[in-house]
């Protein structure tokens, strides 16, 4: 799996928020084998660098860091936050969030495309948090994005893949674009389903951090992601409307 030319060993990505302690955070990453950690720029306080202790914890995880613009509701705010992230984390990778709806945290499609275009022109490698909308996906690719991060469901809900048709359509429409299912997954089975559909990776936070045993849940998701990917690569059978016997009837004795 490659993002902007960088090879990542694991198809599981984890967020770093909401864990009950730094030890639990580290254990979750260790047992999951996650290859990327997403980090909110708001955790790295400016001025006296009050967030430096948190940054030290993340650095010790030994994984690639993907800063995000979580909580930004305008293009200007997102762009400024991304520029701060580049200075703080010494990377041009950015997970771009421009929130348009306070209750669902659904992205603002117009602001997202505008911010993506600006940041791409400024040298950023943009990972846009988007919906499963095919038209929006095309606009983001036109703006210079080489990766898409469609939601499965609203952030933190654990509802899973709420629009199976839309997710399948998006994957089929852009088969060669790396895609990460980001947000809304609550169970390993939901992650496996996303991988079986051909998605390249999943990004989790709440489902792991808020579990009774975050490290065990992280490992469960890791195994599900691996199983789902193997199933996709195995070219699974098509579903049927009628039963088909697994044991051949040729040569069977018939009583008269």
> Domain segments of the chain: what residues?
8-234
Mean pLDDT of the chain: 91
Residue-level length of the chain: 256
Burial (CB < 10 A; 0-12, 13-18, 19+), residue 109, is middle
205 is in an annotated binding site: yes
- Kindly name the residue from 11, 31, 86, 95 that is annotated as catalytic: 95
34 is in an annotated binding site: no
Burial (CB < 10 A; 0-12, 13-18, 19+), residue 119, is buried
pLDDT of residue 201: 97
Mean pLDDT confidence for 155-159: 94
Has residue 48 got a pLDDT over 80? no
pLDDT band at 60 (very low <50, low <70, confident <90, very high): confident
pLDDT of residue 59: 83
Taking only the tens place, the pLDDT of each residue in 186-196 is: 999 999 999 99
pLDDT of residue 216: 97
pLDDT band at 136 (very low <50, low <70, confident <90, very high): very high
Sequence-ordered list of residues with C-beta below 8 angstroms from that of 104, at least 6 positions apart, any chain? 154
186 is in an annotated binding site: no
Mean pLDDT confidence for 118-132: 97
Taking only the tens place, the pLDDT of each residue in 192-221 is: 999 999 999 999 999 999 999 999 999 999
What's the token pair of residue 177?
A: 């674009």
Do 222 and 256 contact (CB within 8 A), yes or no?
no
Q: Is residue 125 flagged as an active site residue?
A: no
Mean pLDDT confidence for 42-71: 74
183 is in an annotated binding site: yes
pLDDT band at 131 (very low <50, low <70, confident <90, very high): very high
Dump the DSSP string for 208-252. Answer: HHTSSSHHHHHHHHHHHHHHHHHHHHT-PPPP-SS---SS--TT-
Has residue 57 got a pLDDT over 50? yes
Do 205 and 18 contact (CB within 8 A), yes or no?
yes
156 is in an annotated binding site: yes
Burial readout 72-82 (b: 16 or more C-beta within 10 A, e: otherwise): beebebbbebb
Dump the DSSP string for 142-184. Answer: HTT-S-BEE-SSSTT-----S-HHHHHHHHHHSTTS-BEEES-
Local structure of 98: helix, strand or coil: coil
pLDDT of residue 46: 47
pLDDT band at 251 (very low <50, low <70, confident <90, very high): low
Has residue 51 got a pLDDT over 60? no
The CA-atom distances, in angstroms, between 176 and each of 109, 179, 233, 249 are 22, 9, 15, 42
Q: Could you tell me the fold of the domain covering 8-234?
A: TIM Barrel (3.20.20)
Q: Which H or E run contains 83?
A: helix 75-89
Question: pTM for the complete prediction?
Answer: 0.89
């Amino acid at each position: 799996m490659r993002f902007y030319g960088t090879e990542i060993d694991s198809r599981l990505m984890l967020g770093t928020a909401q864990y009950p302690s730094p030890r639990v955070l580290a254990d979750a990453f260790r047992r999951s084998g996650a290859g990327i950690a997403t980090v909110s720029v708001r955790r790295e306080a400016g001025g006296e660098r009050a967030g430096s202790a948190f940054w030290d914890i993340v650095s010790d995880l030994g994984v690639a860091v993907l800063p995000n613009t979580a909580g930004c509701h305008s293009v200007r705010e997102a762009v400024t936050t991304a520029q701060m992230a580049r200075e703080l984390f010494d990377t041009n990778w950015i997970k771009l969030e421009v929130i348009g709806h306070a209750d669902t945290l659904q992205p603002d499609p117009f602001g997202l495309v505008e911010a993506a275009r600006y940041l791409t022109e400024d040298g950023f490698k943009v990972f846009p948090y988007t919906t499963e909308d095919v038209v929006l996906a095309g606009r983001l690719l036109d703006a210079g994005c080489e990766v898409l991060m469609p939601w499965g469901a609203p952030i933190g809900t654990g509802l899973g893949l709420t629009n199976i048709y839309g997710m399948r359509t998006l994957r089929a429409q852009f088969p060669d674009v790396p895609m990460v299912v980001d947000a809304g997954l609550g169970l390993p089975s939901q992650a496996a389903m996303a991988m079986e559909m051909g998605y390249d990776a999943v990004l989790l936070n709440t489902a792991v951090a808020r579990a009774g045993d975050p490290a065990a849940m992280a490992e469960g998701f890791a195994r599900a992601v691996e199983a789902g990917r193997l199933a996709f690569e195995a070219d699974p059978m098509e579903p049927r409307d009628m039963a088909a016997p697994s044991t051949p009837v040729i040569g069977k004795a018939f009583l008269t």
